[in-house]
Amino acid sequence: MISVQLDWKPNAQFAGLLVADHGGLFASRGLEVEILPWEVHTDPVAGLDTPGRIAVSEDNLAIQSFAAGNEVVVLGAMLRYSPLAWIVRADSPVSNFGDFAGLTVGVHVDGVTGLDYAVRSAGLTLDDVNVVDVPYDKTPTR
């Protein structure tokens, strides 16, 4: 039995896994595969110590798990280069990561590792930046 933990809602990024599962390809090859659904606050790498478990994950979670001393094997990557981008207004004085010092930077919680590496490349730490969590759930909180 192989369990695959998804890191987001079932959608096109998991098409290969989902089509193979629903179309019986795994079973026709003698594989028993269980696709574990994503739920809010799922940490896909948290269960990797379970025998037969693999996960689809953002790179930062694999890096953090490895840095914490866990054995992590990356089987593949969806992207050759990071799609991480920082967006500023055209009239902004920000032109490099060093300019983040003292500014407020909004980032999804799973992007903090990337921000940390970016500001460290400019000689800063996250303490030099006012980091604000931008949640995935955009539900109004009125």
Candidates 10, 35, 11; CA nearest to 25 is 35
Dump pLDDT digits (tens) for 29-52: 999 999 999 888 888 888 888 899
The pLDDT score that the predictor gives to residue 20 is 95
**Rounded to 5°, angle at Cα 122 from 118 and 128:** 80
Q: Is the Cβ–Cβ distance between 45 and 55 less than 8 Å? A: yes
The pLDDT score that the predictor gives to residue 139 is 61
The pLDDT score that the predictor gives to residue 142 is 58
Dump pLDDT digits (tens) for 77-122: 777 776 777 888 899 999 999 999 999 999 887 788 888 988 999 9
Q: Is the Cβ–Cβ distance between 121 and 97 less than 8 Å? A: yes
CB burial of 52-64 (b: ≥16 within 10 Å; e: otherwise) equals ebbbbbbbbbbbb
Tokens of 46: 């948290």
